[in-house]
Structure 1
Amino acid sequence: MAVRNRWTMLLKLRRIYNNMRNKIGRQNKGITFLLGACLSLYFIRGVYYDSRARKSRPFFKETVNTSLWRVYSSEIQEPFAASYKEMPTVPVASFDKTSHKVVIIYATKRSGSTLIGEFFNQNKHCFYLFEPLSPFSRDCHLLLGERFDFLHQLVQCNFSSLPQIYKNALLQSNHTDVNAKCLQNNLCFSNRNKYLLFRYAAACGRGNKTASFHELTRFVAADPTCGYPLRSEIVSSLCNSAPFVAYKIIRMCSIRDVVPLLAYPNVYLIHLMRDPRGILGSRIDLDSDELTARDVNSASLKLCEEIADSIDFMDTKVNSDGKSRYLRVRYEDIALNPLLHAYIMYKFIGRDLPGSVKLWITNSFLFDGKMHKKESKDPYSTVKLVQQSIMSWKNRLTYDQISQIQRNCAIAMEKMRYNVITSEEHMKHWNISLLGYT
């Protein structure tokens, strides 16, 4: 059984199980459990004999063909899958084991950057930081120069000035640090950086500033020597010893402010975009956000002006060398084809997609059940049900609000190839794709 067929069979078995469970009824829990166990054993048996008969190989071949793209889409995403005529053009980095590459994930708020960040956070070879610009306020124009200088230091794995930078940012912006605890811990949102904490504990415990990136030890926050706040010299050493680095950045005004980092030959920029209806629908549903229903008009104008400007700037003002290290992706495409787009992003930076990332994507996207039910109410969750993830804004916005956003964002939506809703009746049809493709 080929690797592709193996995953196809898993998806078919899942579909069979769900159909039979509905027919049997949820009250017959014993029969339902036995059915699930039998199907699981059948799949495990196939995997076992397949692993004995074949040598290990990556989920996707080095040259991804159109047929695999279509097969994967039709198996998982129906009826939302689009008919892809050809693979997108992806710049491919030449792989160099000695190269210390830095990946910048640039996005606007509520565009799915937390999810994409996990594609790198789940890689044991990656030094990943979640929103290191969090101490700076949401007003991206405030302390813009300081933000850019800090990004330069991050690219160079220089964390020596981090405590002072965070202190000044919080003092001048009057921004709260209650949730992120950046200044208190010398690390923002430490719960999103647990692998870094394990590596930090191992390096600190040995009393050696030259950290070994692959050593892990349990982190004890209250440890007076190796707990919070993190020591900048050890964090810098871990960053420098990592095979590659990734930062999730959202608090910059425009991609124009990030592009100068491409002057470093080892920096790669992933530009994440999302349907503005999805961004605003997500923000309006978030208690901590300042956006209200009456602010949708002004917010959509500001958002889509920035989106259109970013696309125009990257398409017309950046030279070929910069474009070779720039990748633009849409959140909806990633949600529909997570494994494929994870492969594309890793190929873009010249690395193989590791098994740990494939497993995380499988658990987060392809299975329903208790985990999805538990996580579905968390607006920051990275466990996604495709239908809820990319179309949930239909339930959060009224038709008038959607029409208003579409008018204000007509140019941006056309550049990103999103289709518009033309009527309230059209809005009710969940099986009609709103994603356009060339």
Structure 2
Amino acid sequence: MMECSWKVLLLIVFTSLGIQYTAIKSLRMNFTSPCRNVAENRCGHIKDNVTRVLCEDINGQQGRKHILILATARSGSSFLGQLFNQNSDIFYLFEPLYHVQSMFTNANGLPTIDRRSLLGAYRDLLHNLYDCDFYLLENYIKPAPKGHITSSFFRRGSSKALCSPPVCNQSQEVQENQCLKSCRKINLTLASTTCRSYKTIAIKTIRIPEINHMRTLVEDPRLNLKIIHLVRDPRAILASRISTFVDQYRSYQIWNSSGRRPHNADLSLIRNTCTDYSNSVETAFSRPSWLKGKYMLVRYEDLAKDPIKKANEIYNFLGLQWKEGLSSWIEENTNATVSPNFNKFGTIRKSSETIENWRLHLHLSIVQTIQDVCNTTMAQMGYQLVDNIQQLKNLSQSLVEPRTFLPFI
């Protein structure tokens, strides 16, 4: 039986006894110093049982970095995630929240619980995963794991840690396309144990709408959580979704070919994306104390234009060491000659030349509609509007304004 997270249960007991979150945070400040430099015995020198338990919990977490890549669908998040996955010092998970969403979605793709409850489930699972506790995740995987073993872990091939020894029973690491064949089943107890041997855990998700929804985790005194918030021109996002999710965006394909908007062309998804972007950047730009040193905004266009430079900036903000081989991986994956039938969910691109290629594939009518819907968002993030077909198709004039978004330190 996988070990339950008894520390979380203990904190729940504390809460029931009237110990508030702020009090726990205060306790952390009081005993952080004596815990920090304890070697073999860690917190064993502390006589008070409650303080010692909290000390052990925080001491174990303090040396570990927790990273959340917050993005939306078709914004370049898979590539950004690989900047962490390619680092052998990082335990990287690709979209584990997929299992939660799948559990609470019906056959028609509609949620079966309210938004607040779903976000709460997301936060709970993230907290457990950052604690290297995979037990809660088992409740969401379908079919349910047997003996903590499953073959239904979503996109496990996108995580090197899950495709390498000891989690994967191979003598060496295997590539993503080989992982599902060579390492078909995953032992979640072993994955949990392996996770604890890493000093950095990074998780990528497109299922958290706004940074505000992560405030409780960011403020958690036991987590050293930092958020990399990836944004992209909403016109480019929509163009990518139209070409990738064919069935879902069939009305947009008709619109794109005819220039006339069908009555069933639903703007709610892209409108929600822009609203979530605006709410998040408004929060970040107001520089709240809870985000200090915890948040970095990254435009996909800046990352694609100069990926090594931007990747170094991200690593510096997170306090990560640049690994040998990362630069060569970036060069190989951003300067590739791509065939017409390339994998749309992959990371191999000619990045610098495809940043604004959406302009050649999106009808002006759609572009102007999205500009009306997302006007505020685009102004916040430095994306210029177009008024006519000439401006749209002239790729020699970029629609991405030079902007510097400094991390909130």
TM, length-normalised to structure 2: 0.69
Q: Do the aligned residues in 2 keep the contact of 1:163 with 1:183 (CA within 8 Å)?
A: no
Query: 1:103 corresponds to which residue?
Result: 67
Alpha-carbon separation, structure 2, partners of 1:220 and 1:397: 36
Query: 2:226 corresponds to which residue?
Result: 268
Provide Cα deviations, 1:297-341, integer angstroms capped at 9, x if missing partner.
33332221121111112223731x523111100000000010001
Q: Do the aligned residues in 1 keep the contact of 2:157 with 2:163 (CA within 8 Å)?
A: no
Moved more, 386-395 or 182-191: 182-191
In structure 1, the gaps of 5 or more residues are 1-96, 172-181, 206-214
Query: 1:424 corresponds to which residue?
Result: 389
Alpha-carbon separation, structure 2, partners of 1:220 and 1:312: 41
1:357 aligns with 2:322: no
Q: Do the aligned residues in 2 keep the contact of 1:280 with 1:296 (CA within 8 Å)?
A: no
The 5 A counterparts of 1:17-416 are 99-135=63-99, 136-137=101-102, 141=115, 143-167=118-142, 184-185=150-151, 187-201=153-167, 216=172, 228-264=184-220, 265-287=223-245, 290-291=248-249, 292-293=251-252, 294=262, 295=265, 297-316=267-286, 318-319=288-289, 321-366=290-335, 368-369=336-337, 372-373=338-339, 377-416=342-381
In structure 2, the gaps of 5 or more residues are 1-60, 103-108, 253-261, 404-409
- Root-mean-square deviation over aligned CA pairs: 2.9
Moved more, 285-294 or 326-335: 285-294
* Secondary structure of the structure 1 residue equivalent to 2:228: strand
Task: Give 1:289 shift.
Answer: 5.8
Task: Give 1:383 shift.
Answer: 1.1
CA 1:139–1:263 in structure 2 vs 1: closer, same or farther (change >3 Å)? farther
Task: Give 1:155 shift.
Answer: 1.6
CA 1:405–1:148 in structure 2 vs 1: closer, same or farther (change >3 Å)? same
Alpha-carbon separation, structure 2, partners of 1:286 and 1:276: 15
Q: Do the aligned residues in 1 keep the contact of 2:226 with 2:295 (CA within 8 Å)?
A: yes
Task: Give 1:379 shift.
Answer: 1.2
Residue type of the alignment partner of 1:393: W
Task: Give 1:99 shift.
Answer: 1.9
Provide Cα deviations, 1:2-52, integer angstroms capped at 9, x if missing partner.
xxxxxxxxxxxxxxxxxxxxxxxxxxxxxxxxxxxxxxxxxxxxxxxxxxx
Q: Aligned residues: percent identity?
A: 28
Residue type of the alignment partner of 1:254: E
* Secondary structure of the structure 2 residue equivalent to 1:281: helix
CA 1:332–1:416 in structure 2 vs 1: closer, same or farther (change >3 Å)? same
* Secondary structure of the structure 1 residue equivalent to 2:127: helix
TM, length-normalised to structure 1: 0.65
Q: Do the aligned residues in 1 keep the contact of 2:210 with 2:280 (CA within 8 Å)?
A: yes
Task: Give 1:98 shift.
Answer: 7.3
Task: Give 1:217 shift.
Answer: 6.0
Alpha-carbon separation, structure 1, partners of 2:377 and 2:328: 35
Alpha-carbon separation, structure 2, partners of 1:288 and 1:149: 33
Higher relative contact order (CA 8 A, sep 6+): 1
Give the paired residue count. Answer: 312
Task: Give 1:387 shift.
Answer: 4.9
Residue type of the alignment partner of 1:310: S
* Secondary structure of the structure 1 residue equivalent to 2:186: coil
* Secondary structure of the structure 2 residue equivalent to 1:257: helix
Residue type of the alignment partner of 2:88: K
Provide Cα deviations, 1:369-417, integer angstroms capped at 9, x if missing partner.
4xx237x632112111135532122133200110111111110000001
* Secondary structure of the structure 2 residue equivalent to 1:258: helix
Q: Do the aligned residues in 2 keep the contact of 1:163 with 1:186 (CA within 8 Å)?
A: no
Residue type of the alignment partner of 1:325: K
Q: Do the aligned residues in 2 keep the contact of 1:285 with 1:396 (CA within 8 Å)?
A: no
Q: Do the aligned residues in 2 keep the contact of 1:144 with 1:252 (CA within 8 Å)?
A: yes
